[in-house]
């Protein structure tokens, strides 16, 4: 008897009904089981080419029968690079890389309906929106809606975390529930009031109330717009889009940093090439310096962001007063500043900055309750002597020299020259904890392929939280980026977060939570326990890569 089956796995006219979905799930399960045997077991360090060949050959035949054309094509392509009688063995890292396309496509097939929605062309490196609301249901809805438009969204359910996220991530637009704020939330209130004059970040306040007094109070707190609940989604998206456009126009037109009143990064990008043109014409060297305030995070954590802003303001003023009139000071971002010394050698610039470090260390910052403190800064230099140098290479070299100064004890100046020696990046631990071998393997490959100027990622994967803690990896005090599955059979993600929060170095962790789309409780608990962001499964690989890049870019 013949069986006719259409592409959706439904019976054709006159044929028997065959449930292809059941057999597809069986295939995906077999693929995962084999990957787990290869990548999770410590027994075998190498996998024979014969085993890999048989694995691919089986997938090729089964996927063709089940009408999984893409999987069939990839397995055929991989089979061209391997023979059954080969004596070669694969190490785990090489095999992961070899099978990555097949593993990624398996994930996409397994989550086909959701993936087809996620696979739209979206620019996840674009605008960043900060949502603050204790209503997790509302957060989830608004985050989904905004990210469908291609914007990246970070969320927070309490004011204290919101303040830290605001300064760490520097969003392009803030949306906050005014009902969340009360007399005890003075820090976030001060953010709305004080920073409206210092930073142009559009702020939209929402409230369940829509009376005149509430709306007036919202605008007095620095709101650029007000939306009452229940939120009309179409109106909400239109307003966010309009404010992001305003932000973009503002950023493109302004050349002065709003807080410190020195030139900003945009003006640095446009003016730096002119110094290279001048160098080619005059052959006179110039020096580019990158300066960074030491332990600035400790200032913010100890005295608050308002005091931190005061330090930035006074540091910028100090630099302007103490450099020559021909030198130019820029704020590059955060606590990092750039100084260009025209017609200045490396030795001259180093002496000048060394003197300035000593001078600035004598400055005393007074805070209430008669407390006072002082800070220092470090600097890295690169002097342009060769016409082959470019603005990008000059800045990168100066930035690398800065990190050399940081690693050598801070409050010092280092130069980037031929005798400088190889630059040693700092180690950041990157750990994936997920019981799904396909997701573990994909994330491992993504992290292994990422390159950061100052960090060398030490990547490890675990199938549950208990194994992670038993390994001793959590005891390391270096910066740690953790991708954590919310639901696992042995010690779920929330239990892992609870244990991490109790560690003395818990502030060294950046946590990205993977959670189910309907898990409101898990999302609320994760955010409360200190997760920096969450992504719902199934996720877009492109989105996840962009989100990881953005989170780690802010880690210093």
| 520 carries an active-site annotation | no
Q: What is the DSSP letter of 317?
A: H
Quick check: bond before 538 cis, omega within 30?
A: yes
Nearest to 501 by CA among 142, 176, 59, 161: 161
Q: Indicate which residue of 110, 335, 463, 479 is catalytic.
A: 335
Alpha carbon distance 163, 499 (integer Å): 24
**C-beta of residue 70 within 8 angstroms of C-beta of residue 103:** no
Alpha carbon distance 514, 443 (integer Å): 12
* Token reading at 228: 């009452």
- Within 10 angstroms of residue 196's Cβ, the number of other Cβ atoms is 15
**C-beta of residue 382 within 8 angstroms of C-beta of residue 398:** yes
* Token reading at 223: 């709101």
* Token reading at 94: 């090489």
Torsion 340-346-348-352 (CA) sign: positive
Angle between helices 92-110 and 437-449 (to 10 degrees): 120
Q: What one-character-per-residue DSSP string does 415-483 give?
A: E-SGGG-PPPPEEEEEEEE-S-HHHHHHHHHHHHH---SSEEEEEEEESSHHHHHHTTGGG--S-EEEE
Alpha carbon distance 355, 415 (integer Å): 15
Q: How many CA atoms lie within 13 A of 401 on its CB side?
A: 28
91 has which bridge partners?
Answer: 46
Nearest to 523 by CA among 495, 486, 555: 486
Which residues, 6+ apart, have CB-to-CB distance to 431 below 8 Å? Answer: 459, 460, 461, 462, 468, 473, 480, 481, 482, 483
44 to 40, 48, 86, 92, 96: CA distances (angstroms): 10, 10, 18, 9, 15
Alpha carbon distance 473, 460 (integer Å): 9
215 to 29, 145, 207, 262: CA distances (angstroms): 55, 25, 9, 35
Catalytic residue positions, numbered? 335
């Amino acid at each position: 008897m013949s069986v006719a089956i259409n592409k959706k796995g439904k019976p054709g006219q006159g044929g028997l009904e065959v449930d292809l979905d059941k057999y597809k799930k069986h295939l995906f399960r077999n693929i995962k089981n084999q990957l787990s045997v290869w990548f999770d077991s410590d027994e075998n360090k190498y996998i024979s080419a014969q085993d890999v060949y048989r694995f691919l050959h089986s997938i090729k035949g089964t996927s063709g029968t089940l009408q999984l054309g893409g999987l069939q094509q990839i397995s055929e392509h991989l089979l061209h690079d391997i023979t059954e009688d080969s004596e070669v063995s694969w190490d785990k890292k090489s095999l992961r890389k070899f099978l990555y396309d097949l593993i990624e496509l398996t994930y996409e097939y397994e989550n086909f309906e959701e993936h087809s929605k996620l696979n739209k062309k979206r620019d996840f490196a674009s605008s960043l929106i900060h949502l603050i609301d204790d209503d997790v249901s509302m957060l989830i809805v608004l985050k989904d809606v905004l990210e469908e438009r291609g914007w990246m969204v970070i969320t927070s359910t309490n004011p204290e975390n919101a303040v830290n996220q605001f300064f760490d991530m520097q969003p392009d637009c803030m949306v906050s529930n005014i009902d969340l704020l009360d007399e005890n939330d003075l820090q976030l209130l001060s953010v709305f009031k004080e920073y409206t004059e210092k930073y142009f970040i559009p702020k939209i306040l929402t409230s369940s109330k829509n009376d005149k007094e509430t709306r007036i109070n919202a605008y007095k707190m620095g709101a650029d717009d007000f939306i009452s609940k229940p939120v009309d989604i179409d109106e909400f998206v239109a307003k966010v889009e309009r404010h992001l456009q305003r932000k973009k126009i503002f950023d493109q037109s302004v050349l002065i940093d709003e807080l410190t009143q020195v030139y900003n990064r945009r003006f640095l990008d446009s003016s730096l090439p002119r110094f290279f043109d001048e160098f080619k014409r005059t052959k006179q060297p110039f020096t580019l310096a990158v300066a960074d305030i030491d332990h600035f995070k400790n200032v913010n954590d100890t005295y608050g962001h308002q005091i931190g802003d005061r330090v930035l303001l006074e540091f910028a003023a100090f630099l302007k007063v103490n450099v020559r009139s021909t030198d130019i000071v820029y704020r590059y971002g955060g606590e990092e500043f750039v100084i260009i010394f025209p017609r200045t050698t490396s030795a001259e610039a180093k002496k000048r900055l060394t003197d300035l470090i000593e001078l600035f260390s004598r400055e005393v910052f007074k805070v209430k309750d008669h407390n006072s403190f002082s800070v220092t800064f470090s600097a890295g230099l690169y002097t342009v002597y060769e016409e082959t140098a470019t603005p990008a290479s000059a800045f990168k070299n100066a930035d690398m020299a800065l990190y050399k100064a940081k690693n050598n004890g801070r409050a010092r100046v280092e130069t980037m020259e031929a005798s400088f020696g190889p630059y040693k990046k700092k180690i950041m631990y990157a750990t994936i904890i997920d019981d799904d071998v396909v997701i573990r393997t994909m994330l491992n490959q993504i992290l292994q392929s990422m390159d950061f100027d100052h960090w060398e990622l030490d990547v490890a994967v675990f199938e549950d939280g208990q194994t992670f803690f038993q390994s001793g990896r959590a005891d390391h005090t270096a910066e740690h980026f953790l991708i954590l599955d919310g639901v696992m059979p042995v010690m779920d993600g929330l239990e892992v977060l609870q244990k991490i929060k109790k560690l003395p170095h818990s502030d060294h962790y950046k946590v990205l939570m993977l959670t189910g789309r309907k898990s409101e409780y898990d999302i609320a608990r994760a955010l409360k326990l200190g997760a920096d962001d969450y992504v719902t499964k199934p996720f877009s690989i492109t989105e996840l890569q962009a989100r990881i890049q953005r989170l780690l870019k802010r880690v210093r």
